[in-house]
Structure 1
Amino acid sequence: EQVAIDYFAKLKANGVNVLTVFVESLDLSSTPIFLEPSPGQSNPTVLKFLDRLIDLAKNNDVYLLLRLYDTFYYKDNGYPKNLERKWADTYWYKQYHKSSPEGFFDADLYESHKNRMKILLERYRNEPHILGWDLVNEIDNKVRFNEAGGYQARKRWVEEMVRFAKIIDPNHLVFYSFLTWDPKDANYYRASIGERIPTLGGDVMDTKRYIGMDAAFAYRLPGVELAMPHGYYAHVANPWSPHIPDYAPPLEIARGITYGFYQIRDGRPILDGESSPNGHLYERIYGQDGFTEGQDDKDFMNGAWLHFAAGGAGANLRWPADLRPSNFRNTVNQITDVKRAFLKTFKENVGDILWQGDRLQVSTRKLGDDLVQITRHDEKSAVVYLYNQTGIPIQEVTLSDLPKAEAGEIKVINPAQPANNVLFNQSKVPVGAGRPAIRLDRPTDNAAVIVRNMVLEKATPIPPTPSNSDGIIADRVWIKATIKIPGIPDSEALWQFGGDEMKNGNRAVWGYFYANPNVFDWGDENNPEVFVKVWFDPSGRIDVNFFHVSGPDIEVLSSLKEIITGQTNTVTQAKRYARHTYGQGNPTSELLETPEVSFGKADANPRHNPVPVQDSQIGAVIQTEDKGAIDAAWHFGGASTTKRGDQVAWGFFYANPSDVSWGFENNPDVYVKVWYDVADKRVDVNFFHVSVPNIRVYSGFSNGNYDDGSQVTKEERYTRHVYQK
């Protein structure tokens, strides 16, 4: 017990205030310790241990995340330390006759799961030092838990257990941890349904064999209050091997957290609940293949700050594997004093900031080959971290990703130094694009910037009389777009109204902005730069949706007449989708990253719709809930040839009202822009999802069958099919 007392004292001294705790000890090969050895019979040893642990947490200002199931150890013959054990020790095997772990999520076990969880939910529901319940550890990990139940069974299990847990204990966070958190790893269980996967022999992923989760399951399942991915990317868990991709593990953690941050729609926090070099898995220690303890310490420090700056809730949680040769596989693993000191510096500098979650924004800027700046701000406070992979001297910092404001205080520190680490500390400093750089007192190879009490410059009101380039929607909604190209003056885009229709109480208004042909040689009335769809919902909500279909950055602005000041974002090739919402409290805006969805060979041949660009043909299939897959109807918008000789055509797909009751022609579901670049002799077929259902899109030429296909969804809105001509 003294080890635990001393450990908690160390945590308190360094400001570490969150621990994850498994409620069972199934890692012991000889005598596994179950929370509930038999139905209705709790283990008093486990409860005594948890009671004492909570007392230590209370005394040391630590909060516990209790992990109710760890399916790692339910897999027979799956781990060298654990051969032929564990599942056969469970009462699901003994009393309920589930012969393998694949029965874990079966509906006839629901009551046994609820009864088991109820033991702890009732015992600790009024305990303030429990932060939350991790219902199941890495629910999507096919390696750890066979193929139990498949995707749908796992999802139903989680939905049912979340509802149950919140009824019994409404006081604590309820969530689950997962590995499938990033579509970049399109490899079997990290693939999306409908995606063609090389590792499956070119087959399309379907729900039957899909045992992972999609972004909606990972980040937006109703009732779940914390998103907890485990960031074990290959080069995070195995730093002894060359980096794949060839950038550093801390940046991979930051990229993944940012992806999740922008997938979340309801403001729930995101926290990397487990990651680190995994010496136990790879049987490696410090000193092998160039990976040293010093490198691990540096990665740990950078990872903590990057996780936070990228939108995470605090620093990420480290699996405390001790990779020192003398301690390898020591069961009493703890993070070292050096790592705890890094966390102390982190906590002392950002731990007291109260963030406005509904206004939080994250951005990344590459400043050089080895220098990346990640910014987190909520218009009042900000943390900016400079990740310096090769240690080049940093002498100044530019805060151009912050809104234009006066900062009440700016402090720049070297987070690697526990003392004498302040490099700049001043009050009333102007920040934002175009403002002078901050000159540091001395060069540094590590820099974290903490900005407090920003006072924004007043928003520019919309002119009382819109100019000709403003879009006036239904005499109430105003929209405007400005094309921004470095080195030349900003140019207001011109508005082209498309259509306006109401059906079943819903109203859709659409159109697009295009570049002034008197300013740009590629400007043309039939060359959209930003598609727009405004949705008037019967509830009173108004969504103003902008879809970037251009090359340069474009600032988009909207407002209601009665509000005067508006919402604004800059849409780009990386962040093509912006949405401004009115009519439900304060107006809000969001700007989402839109990576290109990969495309492959067409798997269907829906209705062909000719497009007058290089004999192109396109089609789409809408996956409806009520009618299944239906061919989308095509609305051809127009075509032209620019002054430069580029060919362009545009239009949109919509749900045919003869197929579904909610379909109508002036309600675009997928915008399309087909572009032939005369200089590159390349055809780009661009599809932009503007709807709710998943939609398969196809393109090709006048040869009877489509060449390529892909899927666009609410989470992955943009895809491009590319052809060299």
Structure 2
Amino acid sequence: MPYFVTERAEAWTPIGHNDAVGWPELAGLFQRRNVPAVRAHLRWLKEHGVNCLRLMLEYAQSRHRFLERPAGRFAPNMVRLWDDLFALCEEVGIYLLLTPFDTFFTWRHWHHHPYNAANGGPCSDRRRLITCPATRAAIKARLEFATRRWGASPALFAWDLWNEMHPAHGEDDPAACEPFIDDVGSFLRDLELRLHGRAHLQTVSIFGPELLRWPALCDPVFRHPRLDFANTHLYERDTIDDPRDTVAPALATGRLMRAAVREASDGRPVFDSEHGPIHAFLDHHRILPEAFDDEYFRHIQWAHLASGGAGGGMRWPNRHPHVLTHGMRVAQHGLARFLPLIDWTRFRRRNLNDEARATPGLAVFACGDEHQALGWLLRTDHLAPNGTLRTDGPTLPAGLTVPGLAPGHYRCTLFDTRSGKVVGTRVLAHGGGELTVPCGEVLCDVAVAITPAG
């Protein structure tokens, strides 16, 4: 099905972001310098609707957070850090999406990495990370250690088996990716079934722009039969990675998520587990103004959800300090309030971005099936000089037209994404064909949940 459910058959939608064990909000766990501060932070996140964090078992930007050093010897400080983090997440009720390696900094700082043969590791060349037999054995050993120690925890959501799968890790051969998933994924699944009586969900992630260079990667990333959901990183050039306004990134997100949902042709869940202004931050050393970044974040979040993604996507902060802003947390809280308006356990969505229609001056992002639909309308005609949407009027009378709903009566709930509140509800009789929903006067944007009435 296109969305996640718990073992109790309850809807669960990931709302969260990327974090790292060396970044400010979790840094207090290292050597137990300030565990109470991390506990308070996680509780605050939970109160704002956050229920999932994506983390790497090591963050290799520096040499102080390697999980193994040397290869095969698990660092006591890091093991204790993860023990504490799992215990806190269980206490608070936050799930973890884990990936075993930080492949970005492993690649950049290969000369320091414990897996480098020059440092006594198993791998002679970073271009053989997923093909070298000795390295494959080390990867399995890392995953085995992790699931033996933490796999029984209710806080573990899923495994991202390889962060940003890339042919460069397999001797520039895209055909190396599928055998890696077959081997490592099967090993981990079989081990977890023996150890825990169940296996956690599995995925692999992809740096989205690489799909343009390597179309063959669509098969293992979006359709591999052993993977449970599809995972992409939305870093489109200029629109998302170096934004100049807050509308173009939303339009790009809608287009990219439509493509991703269609690529995952068996209806599995799809979501973006990394996005943000990476080019602006890393290459131009530019931090987006906070008000601009908050709106950019919120627009991407709603474009992602309304286009058929599970949740609103997971931001990589790309700020200094490396944390999300308060305004982004407000946006996540608003998303959490909206989610109960849809019955996700029964929603067999298909993307309708191109099939749905809206009043001129509004971009439409939508998904639906025969019984429910979700839409988000965004003003495209009202940008201020700083690239954000104007909030000083005038408003635009808005309507949303959605195809494919069965005849019946539908409750149409209008939701203000800025305030995170329902702003209107009406019941419409529908005789079949297209359903048009009046959406009132729109200043910047509005979300619409369409569900059976009664």
TM-score relative to the length of structure 1: 0.51
Alignment of 1:342-353 (within 5 A): 342-351=331-340, 353=342
Determine whether 1:384 maps to 2:412: no
**Distance in structure 2 (CA, Å) of the matches to 1:42 and 1:133:** 19
Which deviates further from its counterpart, 305-314 or 44-53? Answer: 44-53
Q: SS state of the match for residue 359, structure 1?
A: coil
Q: Which fold has the larger relative contact order, with Cα–Cα distance below 8 Å and residues 6 or more apart in sequence?
A: 2
Matched, 1:222 2:225: yes
Q: Quote the residue 1:36 is aligned against.
A: 68
Residue in 2 that maps onto 1:101: 126
User: Taking structure 1 as reference, are residues 450 and 97 closer, same or farther at Cα in structure 2, changes over 3 Å only?
Assistant: closer
Identify if the C-alpha distance between structure 1 residues 9 and 356 changes in structure 2 by more than 3 Å, giving closer, same or farther: closer
Choose the corresponding residue for 2:299, options 297, 302, 305: 302
CA distance in 2: counterparts of 1:415 and 1:345, whole angstroms:
6
Compute the displacement of 1:334 (Å).
Answer: 1.9
Residue of structure 1 equivalent to 2:443 = 444
Distance 1:437 1:98, change over 3 A: closer
Q: Is the 8 A contact 1:410 1:426 kept in 2?
A: yes
Residues of 2 paired with 1:221 and 1:443: CA distance? 42
Q: 1:410 to 1:159 in 2, by over 3 A?
A: same
Q: For residues 104-143 of structure 1, what are the structure 2 equivalents within 5 Å?
A: 104-109=129-134, 110-140=136-166, 142=168
- Summarize the alignment of residues 59-74 of structure 1 with structure 2, pairs less than 5 Å apart: 59-74=91-106
Does the CA contact (< 8 Å) of 1:181 and 1:218 recur in 2? no
Instruction: Tell whether the 8 Å contact from 1:105 to 1:149 is kept in structure 2 after alignment.
Output: no
1-side partners of 2:238 and 2:357: how far apart?
21
Q: Distance in 2 between matches of 1:435 and 1:173?
A: 37
Q: Which amino acid aligns with 2:300?
A: G
1:10 aligns with 2:44: yes
Residues 87-125 of structure 1: per-residue CA shift (max 9 Å, x gap):
4x3264444563321121234222222112100122222
Secondary structure of 1:178's aligned partner? coil
The CA distance in 1 between the partners of 2:334 and 2:233, in whole Å, is 24
- In the TM superposition, residue 356 of structure 1 has moved relative to its aligned partner by 4.8
Letter in 1 for 2:283: Y
| Cα separation, 2, equivalents of 1:346 and 1:298 | 14
Whole-angstrom distance in 2 between the partners of 1:106 and 1:434: 51
Q: 1:238 to 1:260 in 2, by over 3 A?
A: closer
Question: Residue 314 in 1 paired to residue 311 in 2?
Answer: yes
Q: 1:154 to 1:401 in 2, by over 3 A?
A: same
Q: Percent identity?
A: 21
For residues 149-169 of structure 1, give each alpha carbon's deviation from its aligned partner in whole angstroms, at most 9, with x where no partner exists: 522223322221111111112
2:174 is matched by which residue type in structure 1?
A: Y
Task: Name the CA shift for 1:438/1:429 in 2 (closer, same or farther; >3 Å).
Answer: farther
CA distances 1:615-639 after superposition (whole Å, capped 9, x unpaired): xxxxxxxxxxxxxxxxxxxxxxxxx
Kindly state the Cα deviation for residue 429 of structure 1 after the two structures are TM-superposed: 4.7
Q: Which runs of 5+ in 1 are unaligned?
A: 193-212, 323-327, 456-725
Q: Name the larger-Rg structure.
A: 1
| CA shift digits 1:358-411 (9 cap, x unpaired) | 732220145466422122223333211112223473323233325143345221
Please give the root-mean-square deviation of Cα atoms over the aligned residues, in Å: 2.8
Paired position in structure 2 for 1:453: 452
Report Cα offsets for 1:284-315 as digits up to 9, x if no partner. Answer: 334xxxx6332221121111111011111111
Q: Measured at CA, do residues 14 and 407 of structure 1 come closer, stay the same or move farther in structure 2, by a change above 3 Å?
A: farther
Amino acid across the alignment from 1:153: A
Q: Partners of 1:277 and 1:310 in 2: how far apart?
A: 21
Distance 1:181 1:311, change over 3 A: farther
SS at match of 1:396: strand
- The one-letter code matched in structure 2 to 1:302 is H
Q: Structure 1 334/417 Cα, relative in aligned 2: closer, same or farther at 3 Å?
A: same
CA deviations over 1:580-622 (Å, ceiling 9, x no partner): xxxxxxxxxxxxxxxxxxxxxxxxxxxxxxxxxxxxxxxxxxx
Q: For residues 157 and 202 of structure 2, what CA distance do their matches in structure 1 show? A: 9
Equivalent residue runs for 1:295-694 within 5 Å: 295-322=292-319, 328=320, 330=321, 333-351=322-340, 353-356=342-345, 359-364=348-353, 365=356, 367=358, 370-391=361-382, 393-418=395-420, 421-427=421-427, 429-430=429-430, 433=433, 435=435, 437-438=437-438, 440=440, 442-453=441-452
Report the counterpart of residue 115 of structure 2 in structure 1.
90
| Closer/same/farther in 2, CA of residues 25 and 445 from structure 1, 3 Å limit | closer
Distance 2:111 2:240 in 1: 25
Matched, 1:176 2:214: no
8 Å CA contact retained: 1:399, 1:433: no
Cα distance in 2 between the residues matched to 1:69 and 1:221: 21
Change over 3 Å in CA distance of 1:23–1:236 after alignment to 2: farther
- Are 1:163 and 2:180 matched, yes or no? no
> Residues 126, 352 of structure 1: CA spacing in aligned structure 2 closer, same or farther, 3 A cutoff?
farther
- Is contact 2:362-2:377 (8 Å) kept? yes
Deviation for aligned residue 1:231: 0.4
- Once the two structures are TM-superposed, the CA of residue 5 in structure 1 deviates from its matched residue by 2.2
Q: State the aligned residue count.
A: 400
Q: Is the 8 A contact 1:381 1:454 kept in 2?
A: no
Query: Per the alignment, in what secondary structure is the counterpart of residue 271 of structure 1?
Result: strand
Partner Cα distance (1:432, 1:399) in 2: 12
Q: Tell me the SS of whatever aligns to 1:272.
A: strand
Report whether the alignment pairs 1:151 with 2:153: no
- Once the 2 structures are TM-superposed, how far is the Cα of residue 262 of structure 1 from its aligned partner? 1.1
Query: What is the CA–CA distance in structure 2 between the aligned matches of 1:369 and 1:263, rounded to whole Å?
Result: 29
* Alpha-carbon displacement from aligned partner over 1:152-187 (angstroms, at most 9, x marks no partner): 22332222111111111243111111124785x3xx
Q: 1:425 to 1:90 in 2, by over 3 A?
A: same
Q: Deviations over 1:643-688 (max 9, x none)?
A: xxxxxxxxxxxxxxxxxxxxxxxxxxxxxxxxxxxxxxxxxxxxxx
SS at 2:378 equivalent = strand
DSSP-derived class of the 2:111 partner: coil
Structure 1 residues 434 and 260: alpha-carbon distance in aligned structure 2, compared to 1, 3 A threshold: closer
Cα distance in structure 2, aligned partners of 1:445 and 1:299: 13
Letter in 2 for 1:390: D
AA at the equivalent of 2:205: S
- Determine helix, strand or coil for the equivalent of 1:233: coil
CA distance in 2, matches of 1:35, 1:393: 54
Q: Distance in 2 between matches of 1:432 and 1:350?
A: 26
In 2: Cα distance, 1:375 partner to 1:237 partner: 20
**Contact conserved, 2:366 with 2:374, CA < 8 A, in 1?**
yes
Q: List runs of 5+ in structure 2 lacking aligned partners.
A: 1-33, 193-197, 383-393
CA contact (8 A) 1:106 1:149 kept: no
Give 2:53's aligned amino acid: L
The 5 A counterparts of 1:692-703 are: none
Cα distance in 2 for partners of 1:240, 1:14 equals 26
Q: Which amino acid aligns with 1:310?
A: S
Higher mean C-alpha deviation, range 374-383 or range 342-351: 374-383
- Which amino acid counterpart does residue 117 of structure 1 have in structure 2? L
One of 68, 77, 88 as aligned partner of 1:45: 77
CA distance in 2, matches of 1:13, 1:226: 27
2:44 counterpart SS class: helix
Which structure carries more helix by proportion? 2
Return closer, same or farther for 1:439/1:312 CA change in 2, 3 Å cut-off: closer
- Letter matched to residue 380 of structure 2: Q
Using the size of structure 2 for normalisation, the TM-score is 0.80
- 2:239 and 2:229 map into 1 onto residues whose CA distance is 23
Judging changes above 3 Å, is the alpha-carbon distance between structure 1 residues 388 and 123 closer, same or farther for their aligned structure 2 residues? same
